[in-house]
Structure 1
C-alpha cells in the first residue's frame, strides 16, 4: 500500500504542529509514507526520518526552497526529496532565512509604530528558527490584539498595499533546482497551478528538475492534466501532498487529503536513498 503525503510543514518553519503530533495523526489516518518539507532548512531531516520510523511510517528527507522566476516575475517553490547531503541546500536556504528574519523584524517595528504592543523575544519563542509572519499573527491573537490569525491585521496591514505588504529577495528557481541536485536529491516543482509556473517547466528541466507536484489543495482537474502532460513531455515523475501547516495556514487542508501520485513511489522510496549524511 502506498498512501503518501509528500508536502508537510512542522513547527521547524511555518507550521503550527510538531512532527510527533503530525505523525500521530498520520498513523491514525493510515498514511504509509511522508515527507516533511520545512522551508529552506534541512536541520531536522534526520530526526524526522527516525521519528517517522518509530511510528511505522516511511519517510524521505524533504525541504521546500523558496525561489523566484526573474523572467516571469513570479514566486516559485522547489521541493527537494531524498537528498544525501545538505551542504548546497543549507547554503541557499540560510540566506533566505536571514532575509526572512530581517523582513519580519522590520514588520514588527512597523506594527509597534502603528500602536501594537510587540515583544520580539516572545514572538521568537514561537518560531522554530526564523520568524515567519504566522508567528507574528499568532502572537497578536495570544495577546488579544487580533481576533483571528488571518483577520483584519493580515488583510489590511500585510496585504492589499498595507504598511507591511512587502517581501524579500529570493534565489532564482534554477539555482534552487541545482542546489537540490548537488546534494543528491530529486527536485520537484511545487504547486505550479497555484503560482502559475507551468511555463517555466522546460527551463527547470534543463537545470535538472525531476518532478512536478500533481496533487495539491490549490490544483484543479485542469492543473493536474497540465502536470501530467508536462511530466510526459519532460520525463518527470508526479508527486502530491496536503501542504499541511496546521492552524498556520488560512485554509489548511487536512493531512493526507491530497495523496501523492503513484509514480513518486519508486522514485523517492526506491532508488533514492532517504538517509542524510555529512551535513
Structure 2
C-alpha cells in the first residue's frame, strides 16, 4: 500500500515536471516566434527605408540631370552671346581705327577729289561696290584649279578657256603648294595672258570646327621650302596624299567596282602624275572616268568616302589665323575664299586682325545675299573684293571659266596692283 502511494506521488511529480517543461518550451517557442516576427518587421522596415532611399536618389538624379541640361543650355547661350559681343567689339574697334585713319587723311582725300573734279574726272569710290549690267566679257576670274592639285585642266587649257569665255585675266590657285608658281608665271608670259599665280590654303576655324579656305597671292616659293606658307601647308599636302592612298587601298581591299571596272593603283598614279599630291578626285577618275556632275559619280562618291564608309577619313588643317599670318609673313596678300560656302562669316573680324586683305564676293555657291554680305564686310573692314569660278574642270561642279567673276571696277586698284606686281615675281 505504501509502495502504491509512493508510485502515485512520483507519477504526479513527473506529470507536474512534464507540464512545467511543456510550458517552458511553449514560452520559448512563443518568444522565438515573437523574435522572428520582430526581426521580420525590422527587415521589412529596413527594406522599405532602403527602397525609399533608392527612389529619393533616383529622383535626385533626375533633378540633377535636368539641372545639368539647363546649365549646359545656359552656358551655350552665354557662349553664343560672348562670341557675338567679341565680334561686335572687334568690328567696332576696327571701325574706330578706320575712322581715325580717315580723319587723319581727310584733307588729302579732299584735295585729291578737288583735283579730279577740276580735271573733269569721275570720282573714284572709296569702298568696293557691285556694278550694274555685270558680264564676264572683259572681267577677271580669280579662283581656279589646275592639274597641279585637284583640277583636270593644264595651265595652257585654263588660259585657252579664259580667252574663249571673254575673260581678260584669271588666277590659278592650286591647293596647299607653291612649287608650281614659277611654271604658271612662265606660261602666262609665254602665252601673253595675265595670270595671278596663287595658292588656296586649307584651314579651319577652331571656334566652329568649320573649314576655312584662304587664297594667297603675290607669293614666291623658296629654294628649300622654308617659307612660312610652305612650312604651314607641307603637313597638309603630305597628310592628304597619305590619306588618299589609304582610301584607295581600302577600296581595293573591299573590291569595289564601277560598271565592271576595279581600281588600279597604276591608274591612280597616272591620273595624278602632274599633281603635287593625290586627291579623292584622282581615285574617282581612275575608277569611274565620269565627271563630277554625273549622278552615278555623286552616288558612288557618297558611298565610298562619306558617312559610315570604311574609307571615310579626314585630314587635319591649320587654323585660318595661322594661314593668314603665314601668307603675310611670306610677303603675300591673303583673301578669304567663298565665306558663304564654308559659313565662315563670324571669323572675318579676327582674320582682319591677323592681316586679311580681301574677301571673295562672287562664287558659284554665293547668291545675292552672300554677295551683299561680302561687300558690306569689305566696306566696313577695309577689304577689297574678288570673285571666281572655283573651276576644277571635270573634277568640279562649275561648268566653265567665267561661271563667276569680278568686274575690274569691283576689284579696284588693289587687285590691279597684284597683277602689276606679278611681273617682278619669278
Question: TM-score with structure 2 length normalisation?
Answer: 0.61
Greater RCO, CA 8 A, separation 6+? 1
1:232 alignment partner, one of 370, 375, 379? 379
**Considering only CA atoms, is the larger Rg found in Structure 1 or Structure 2?**
2
- Distance in 1 of aligned mates of 2:212 and 2:218: 20
Query: 1:82–1:275: 8 Å Cα contact kept in structure 2?
Result: no
Structure 2 residue aligned with 1:258, among 404, 409, 418?
404
Structure 1 residue 94 and structure 2 residue 234: aligned?
yes
Q: How does 1:1-279 map to 2 (within 5 A)?
A: 2-84=138-220, 87-116=227-256, 117-127=262-272, 128-142=275-289, 150-249=297-396, 251-261=397-407, 262-270=409-417, 273-275=421-423
Question: Residues 91-129 of structure 1: CA distance to partner in whole angstroms, max 9, x if unpaired?
Answer: 222111000011111111211221134332331221112
The alignment partner of 2:177 has SS state of coil
Output the CA distance in 1 between the equivalents of 2:253 and 2:424.
Answer: 45
Q: Offset of 1:253 from its aligned partner?
A: 3.6
Equivalent residues of 1:41, 1:93 under 8 A apart: yes
- Is the alpha carbon distance of 1:78 and 1:98 closer, same or farther for their aligned partners in structure 2, counting shifts above 3 Å? same
Conserved 8 A contact 1:9-1:243: yes
Aligned mates of 2:243, 2:139 — CA distance in 1? 38
TM-score (norm 1): 0.91
Q: 1:181 to 1:275 in 2, by over 3 A?
A: farther
> Matched residue of 2:159: which SS?
helix
Gaps spanning 5+ residues in structure 2: where? Answer: 1-136, 257-261
Secondary structure of 1:78's match? strand
> Retained in 1: the 8 A contact 2:173–2:198?
yes
8 A contact 1:60–1:275 mirrored in 2: no
Bigger CA drift: 69-78 or 104-113?
Answer: 104-113
The structure richer in helix per residue is: 2
Q: Secondary structure at the match of 2:142?
A: strand
When the two structures are aligned, how many residues end up with a matched partner? 274
- Greater mean deviation of Cα atoms: 4-13 or 162-171: 162-171
Q: Post-superposition shift, 1:8? A: 0.8
Give 1:234 deviation, angstroms.
Answer: 0.9
**Root mean square deviation of aligned Cα:** 2.1
Query: Could you report, residue by residue, the CA deviation over 1:9-52 in whole angstroms, capped at 9, with x for unpaired residues?
Result: 00000001111111112122221111100001121212212212
Cα distance in structure 2, aligned partners of 1:17 and 1:130? 15
Q: State whether residues 61 and 275 of structure 1, in contact with CA within 8 Å, keep that contact through their aligned partners in structure 2.
A: no
